[in-house]
Structure formats: C-alpha cells, structure tokens
C-alpha cells in the first residue's frame, strides 16, 4: 500500500503537469492553393514558419480537403482563391476562406485568432513588397479571413463536452465495478470456494464480466438519450456504429479491471489503482485539452490510452457523422487492445497460487 500511496501521485504530478496542457499548439493545418503564385506561396510559408501550425497537406481539391477533415487529419483549412495575387494588386483587398474544425469550441476560437494574426502580419509585409514606389498614395491593403466553424457552428462547448463526458462515465463505472468485483470475492473468501470447483477459468471470468458489459452498454444508452433530450447534442452518425465501437471498447476496460483485481488483495487497493489510471487516461484523452498540443512523448503515451480512442470516435461519429471507414483505425486499435488486455488478464488470473 505504501508505494501505491506515494509513487502513484508523484507519477501523476510529473506526467500530467507536463502533458495536460491548455495551450493550443501543433495545429494540423491544410490548404488549398488555387492561385499558385509567389504571393500565395509566401502566405503558406508564413503558416509554415509559425510554431503553432504544422503545415501538413496541400489539397488539390475541396472535396479531398473536406474528406480529410472528416477523418480528423486536418483541423484548420485555408482556401486561397483563384487570382489571389492579381486581385490583390488590382483591388488592394481580398478574402481568404478558413475552415476550422470546431468540435472543441475553445481550441477553434484560439486557432481562429492565430490565423488572423498571421494574415495581418502578412498584410503589412505585402504593403512593402507589392506596392511599388510609383504608388504615391499608399492605400491600405487588406486581406480578410472569413472563418467557417465546422461541426459546431456556434462553438457550443456542450456539444463538445457531452460526448466526452459520456465516455468518461461509461469508462469509470465499468472499470471500478469490474476492478473491485473479483477482489471483493477474494476479500469475503468466496473465490476460494469457487476455485475448488471444476468451473473453468474462462467460464468464471465471462460470468463475472458479462454483467458489467451489459451495464456499460446500458449506461451508453441512457447517456445518449440524455445527451439528446437535455443538451440536444447533434447525432449525425449512425447509432449502431457507436454501439459496435462501445461494445469492443468496454471489453478493453473490463480487461483492465480484471487485470487490476488479479494483482490486488483488497477493494481499497483496487480502487486506488483504478483511480490512478482513470485520472491519467482522462487527462490525456483529449477530453479537456487537445492532444496535438501535448509534448511529443506525451502524444506517444496517448496511443496507449483507450479513452482517447473512445473520445475521438464518439465525437467523430456524433458530431461529424463519420462512417465505419473513418473510425476503422481506432476500431482496430481498440480491438487489439481488448485482445491484449483480456489475454493478460486471463493469463494472470490463477486458480492456484
């Protein structure tokens, strides 16, 4: 118990303080350059130079760009119109389309400000470059950005939070219940009685975990109904897809719970360890703070965080209406995770010691 009390909180302090950041960094940036001139390239170069943006892709068409945003590969999309440079020289003004993934309303707001700042600075430079000395009268040149917030037009934070919190509830309840359940049998001694019976390991474990799987699915149902009724959260994607993903996801959580209960002797210990992991999982899930802003090592860590995938999938399916192919990577990773965790759990559960 003593190492649990001291080591785990210290780990949390070190990891989470570094990883759970509210900064918005490493924004996934894409652009559609319809102009292909030195001016448009210079503008893109500005974004490239900024530490806030990771310029990822140059999309040839709007359709491809939109598809990419649906998959979550791009969060900010800049559209440079045809004849951008020519119009700028002629009319001294122009408009840029900016599309921002606004599922996380707060981050979208910050991203919009960044884009505006970069474009403004570009305005000032361009005055020097484009306006020749011949222009006696220096007219102000303005490039305006017109932001378009996708998936969450009004930047409503509830739309963003409700699917995430639903994930959290399903996870916490199933993890705590399953983590404590077998430990409880250890504590009151019924496990000993069960162990001398010819019941098979797998039968016992399935018997123990299946009810929690049902409870988890029930929680999801209740949560979805409340999300619709109380918060009117949009549900664009297919419900069966959400249930399919959740049914696999809960297996991961149950596996973790069982694994914890195999290595603990009391419900108190099990509770403590389950709590430790949930806190780390939640704060590093992208639920509250964007994963892209975390340091590189922390981003790597989140790859092992099942909640991260669940949060992503729920938001993608509910708010963006992503389909099966869009969430396939998450689905496969979760399925693999479920397989590994349950394998470990069954392997470490011993009827004899």
Contact mark string toward another protein, 142..161, x via CB under 8 A: --------------------
Minimal distance in Å, beta carbon 196 to another protein? 4
Token pair of 216 as six digits: 């988890």
Minimal distance in Å, beta carbon 15 to another protein? 34
Q: What are phi and psi of 139, to 5 degrees?
A: -90, 145
How far, in Å, CA of 77 to CA of 99, rounded? 5
Minimal distance in Å, beta carbon 250 to another protein? 24
In contact, 156 and 227? CB cutoff 8 Å: no
Contacts of 346 (CB under 8 A, 6+ apart): 201, 202, 205, 258
Angle 38-49/105-130 helices, nearest 10 degrees? 130
Minimal distance in Å, beta carbon 191 to another protein? 8
Using the rule CB under 8 A, is 240 a contact of another protein? Answer: no
Distances from the Cα of 332 to the Cα of 44, 77, 136, 213, 336, angstroms: 35, 28, 64, 19, 6
The residue from 46, 92, 228, 351 that contacts another protein (CB under 8 A) is 351
How far, in Å, CA of 54 to CA of 48, rounded? 7
Contact mark string toward another protein, 198..217, x via CB under 8 A: xx------------------
58: β partners = 31
For another protein, which is the closer residue by CB, 35 or 185? Answer: 185
Using the rule CB under 8 A, is 137 a contact of another protein? Answer: no
For another protein, which is the closer residue by CB, 194 or 217? Answer: 194
For another protein, which is the closer residue by CB, 37 or 195? Answer: 195
How far, in Å, CA of 224 to CA of 230, rounded? 10
Sheet with strand 27-33: strands edge to edge = 53-58, 27-33, 76-80, 93-101, 142-150
For another protein, which is the closer residue by CB, 325 or 353? Answer: 353
Angle at 219 between CA 217 and CA 222, to 5 degrees: 115
Minimal distance in Å, beta carbon 258 to another protein? 19
Residue 81 half-sphere exposure toward CB, CA atoms < 13 A = 15
Helix (H, G, I), strand (E, B), or coil: what is residue 1?
coil
Minimal distance in Å, beta carbon 7 to another protein? 23
Minimal distance in Å, beta carbon 310 to another protein? 32
Residues touching another protein: how many (CB under 8 A)? Answer: 14
Minimal distance in Å, beta carbon 195 to another protein? 6
For another protein, which is the closer residue by CB, 132 or 353? Answer: 353
For another protein, which is the closer residue by CB, 86 or 201? Answer: 201
Contacts of 217 (CB under 8 A, 6+ apart): 243, 246, 247, 250
Token pair of 246 as six digits: 């959740």
Minimal distance in Å, beta carbon 352 to another protein? 6
Using the rule CB under 8 A, is 352 a contact of another protein? Answer: yes
Contact mark string toward another protein, 76..95, x via CB under 8 A: --------------------
**CA neighbor of 28 nearest in space, from 47, 5, 9:** 47
Contact mark string toward another protein, 171..200, x via CB under 8 A: -----------------xxx-xxxxxxxx-
For another protein, which is the closer residue by CB, 36 or 201? Answer: 201
For another protein, which is the closer residue by CB, 23 or 192? Answer: 192
For another protein, which is the closer residue by CB, 84 or 204? Answer: 204
215: β partners = none
Q: Which residues bind another protein (CB under 8 A)?
A: 188-190, 192-199, 351-353
């Amino acid at each position: 118990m003593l190492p649990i009390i001291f080591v785990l909180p210290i780990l949390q302090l070190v990891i989470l303080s570094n990883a759970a950041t509210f900064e918005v960094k490493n924004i996934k940036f894409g652009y559609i350059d319809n102009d292909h001139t030195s001016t448009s390239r210079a503008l893109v170069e500005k974004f490239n130079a900024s530490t806030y943006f990771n310029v990822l892709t140059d999309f040839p068409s709007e359709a491809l760009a939109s598809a990419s945003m649906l998959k979550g590969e791009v969060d900010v999309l800049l559209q440079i119109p045809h004849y951008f440079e020519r119009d700028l020289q002629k009319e001294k003004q122009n408009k840029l389309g900016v599309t921002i993934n606004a599922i996380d309303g707060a981050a979208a707001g910050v991203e919009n400000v960044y884009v505006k700042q970069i474009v403004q600075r570009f305005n000032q430079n361009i005055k020097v470059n484009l306006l020749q000395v011949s222009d006696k009268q220096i007219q102000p040149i303005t490039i305006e950005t017109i932001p378009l917030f996708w998936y969450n037009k009004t930047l409503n934070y509830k739309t963003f939070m409700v699917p995430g919190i639903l994930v959290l509830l399903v996870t916490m309840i199933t993890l705590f219940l399953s983590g404590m359940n077998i430990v409880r049998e250890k504590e009151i001694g019924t496990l000993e009685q069960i162990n001398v019976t010819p019941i098979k390991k797998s039968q016992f474990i399935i018997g123990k975990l299946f009810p929690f799987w049902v409870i988890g699915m029930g929680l999801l149902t209740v949560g979805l109904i409340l999300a619709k009724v109380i918060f009117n959260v949009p549900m664009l994607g297919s419900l069966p897809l959400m249930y399919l993903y959740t049914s696999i996801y809960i297996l991961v959580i149950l596996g973790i719970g069982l694994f914890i209960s195999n290595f603990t002797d009391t419900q108190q210990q099990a509770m403590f360890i389950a709590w430790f992991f949930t806190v780390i999982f939640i704060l590093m899930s992208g639920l509250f703070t964007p994963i892209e802003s975390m340091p590189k090592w922390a981003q790597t860590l989140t790859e092992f965080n099942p909640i991260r995938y669940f949060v992503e999938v729920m938001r993608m399916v509910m708010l963006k209406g992503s389909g099966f192919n869009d969430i396939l990577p998450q689905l496969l990773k979760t399925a693999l995770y479920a397989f590994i965790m349950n394998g470990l759990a069954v392997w470490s559960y011993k009827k004899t010691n």
